[in-house]
Structure 1
Amino acid sequence: MSDQQTFSNFAEFYPFYLEEHSDVTCRRLHFAGSLLVLLVTAWAITSGKLAWLLLVPVIGYGFAWVGHFAFEKNRPATFKHPLYSLMGDWVMFKDMIIGRIRF
């Protein structure tokens, strides 16, 4: 595989995305970050403290990037495929919830 892969659609990208998340600790950190993003977003909206929404990207990417750099030992797909990577985060989150992916 080349350094700069191209994908025609998300269905082609997602298997690559999963390969980049083979470490269980990395997947757990992604899950924790995504869950916290949802909780902080809900809290900020319901409490009216919308400034907290500024933390959402820091929380989501912070947990994910620690997983990649410290455990997976790779560069996050976000750097080369930002939209597909964001989509992959939420599909993987859903797949972990329904038991399709172990975490």
Structure 2
Amino acid sequence: MRLLGGDLRRDVLSKKSESFDAFWHHYLRDHARPGTRALHFFGTTVAVVSVVAAIVEFQPLLILAGVLIGYGFAWFGHFVVEKNRPSMIAHPFWSFAADLRMTWLWYAGRLGTELAAAGIAEMPDGAERAEARSD
């Protein structure tokens, strides 16, 4: 089964044995473009604020709205800006944790160090991606 230029079954099976640390670097490489990360930060912030508001206001539909909006922005970033497949297809729980970690590090001003450790130089949104990567 092919999805956006990748063999989905092979990708899912090969990633099942990774550690979260290895996945984290893979996740960051899948978010190399600043535009993709910005859309994730916005979407994740909307989702978190919606969950908190849903709890405070006793409005469970806000959770659904926040999650849909959050994933909408994130997936738009993958398909339009990054031109890749969201990582959550292979590892939904690790992707969720990695997204929260990436957003927290961005707010804390420490994401640059993690991006450098994953081998990511600032890539303009219009630049071509190098398809051959060593994972």
Matches within 5 A, 1:20-39: 20-39=30-49
Instruction: Kindly state the Cα deviation for residue 87 of structure 1 after the two structures are TM-superposed.
Output: 0.9
Which of residues 79, 99, 111 in structure 2 aligns to 1:101? 111
Greater alpha carbon shift after TM alignment, 14-23 vs 75-84: 75-84
In 1, Cα distance between equivalents of 2:37 and 2:87: 14
User: Is 1:87 equivalent to 2:97 in the alignment?
Assistant: yes
Aligned partner of 1:42 in structure 2 is 52
Residue 75 of structure 2 aligns to a residue whose secondary structure is helix
Q: Does 1:62 align with 2:47?
A: no
Greater gyration radius: 2
3-state SS of 2:31 partner: coil
- 1:58-99 Cα distance to aligned partner (Å, 9 max, x none): 122111000000100000001111111111101101111111
Per-residue deviation at 1:56? 2.8
- Aligned residues with identical type, % of pairs: 35
TM-score (norm 2): 0.69
Residue ranges of structure 2 left out of the alignment (5+ in a row): 1-6, 113-135
Tell me the C-alpha RMSD between the 2 structures.
Answer: 1.6
Q: How many residues align?
A: 101
TM-score, with structure 1 as normaliser: 0.88
Per the TM alignment, residue 44 of structure 1 is displaced from its structure 2 partner at its CA by 1.5
Choose between structure 1 and 2: higher helix proportion. 1
1:8 Cα shift?
2.9
Structure 1: where are the runs of 5+ without partners? none
